[in-house]
Structure 1
Amino acid sequence: MKKRILSMVTVCALVACSTNETGNSTGKAVNGAQSGKTGKGSESVSAVSASRTVDAYKAEVAHRISHLHRQQVYSESPQPLLRSVVVVRYSINADGNLINAQIQRSNKDRDAERTALASLKNSAPFPKPHPQLLRGGRLDVSETWLFNDDGRFQIRSIALPQRTG
């Protein structure tokens, strides 16, 4: 458990060092939808991610989303029976821009689906994926949002262990 916490702290530090959180709203379209930038993300993130595996890069993205949406993220372990589990399939290009995002699996909780997609889109752009992670100039991944009854979430790549009973 201590190793996991140390790893999470290290990734957070790397994300904080590699992203520029100042910038302005661009409203770039993502798969036909407005990205809805809140000014928290930046126009471009010039840093190349140090992550050399897809799982490490997913954790880096998850930390960025969790940091930028900290009011919507719960810090304790997920409740035993989750309100909703939403799996999002998304693609990031070589420049770290989100180019596609869609719900891959859900229990049809539309509010949770909207929150998951919005938190992803509003956190873009991301650090540039390492070239070895790209296939056809893009990185395609799936990530899972875990929702408690109150609508707050954690992202599976960095989520705490779920509480029992």
Structure 2
Amino acid sequence: MSPLSVIYVSICISLLLVLAAAVWCAIRARNMQYWLPAYLSAKRRDPKVSFSPEQPRHIFIAVCDHFEPEWGNPTKAEAIARVDRWCEEYPSRFSQFSDSRGQVPQHTFFYPQDQYAPEYLNRLASLCKQGYGDVEIHLHHDHDSAEGLRQKMNEFRETLFD
């Protein structure tokens, strides 16, 4: 092997090692090392689903968003107006649509735990009681520990049910 070939191979191997290290750091930063192997293994084992024209097809559309009325630092009045707009416009825009059981489209509001404000959630609860969706808790827990996550969940559960 010529010296130039050795240098070229060494550079390629070095770049691959740097890429592998970057991917591993990204995986560990999100704690994906705990669930990614099982997920990939299950994906490999699962049989492919096939459809025939004679069978009915069920289509599920997930509509979710990170619902943050205070995004962009609005005034409290502006944030409340955002929530009110959702609560007023969603039924008028979507009540004309329904599935085979008569259920209107459901919207999932991922609401951040650290921005809890009853004036927002009470309004969303009213919309959800009308059958237009549900509120799910969105936890900001980057660089959190198991104990920190448990504490946040317990504290917020107490806040919601008090």
Which has the larger Rg? 2
Between Structure 1 and Structure 2, the one with more helix by share is: 2
TM-score of the alignment, normalized to the shorter chain, above 0.5: no
Q: TM-score, normalised by structure 2?
A: 0.26
Q: Which fold has the larger relative contact order, with Cα–Cα distance below 8 Å and residues 6 or more apart in sequence? A: 1
TM-score (norm 1): 0.26
